[in-house]
Amino acid sequence: MAAFRSIGVVLLSALAFCAAHAEEHTIVIHHMEIQAISGTMRVGDVVTFDNQSEMAHNLYITYPDGTVDNLDTQIPGTRKSLTLRQAGPATIKCWIHPIINARFDISPAEQLKH
């Protein structure tokens, strides 16, 4: 029983370490464009989309393998977040306004250092 408790403590510590190293990024949407994406985004980071335009948008991210994270309809003045799931080149687009399009790279999650 003590061995299971020890394993549990180690796993919880590892999860806390990983969560502490995930970063948060905010991307602002202005009218029909997305703010320039800067900095390094990694798998596990949280990205928040801040709709500061006067119209609704429906952003989604397409990952290298074709999977999609859809943020659904986002009305003006709202924020929606998602956690990045896959490393590689990704694209942000809007289902409603196809002109909104941004490409960025997602780096692998940082490796735990011993």
The pLDDT assigned to 45 comes to 96
Domain count, the chain: 1
Q: Indicate whether 8 belongs to any domain.
A: no
Confidence of residue 38 (pLDDT cuts 50, 70, 90): confident
For the entire predicted model, the pTM comes to: 0.76
Sequence-ordered list of residues with C-beta below 8 angstroms from that of 9, at least 6 positions apart, any chain: none
Q: Indicate whether 70 belongs to any domain.
A: yes
Q: Indicate whether 97 belongs to any domain.
A: yes
Checking if the pLDDT of 15 tops 50, the result is no
Domain holding 38: CATH number?
A: 2.60.40.420
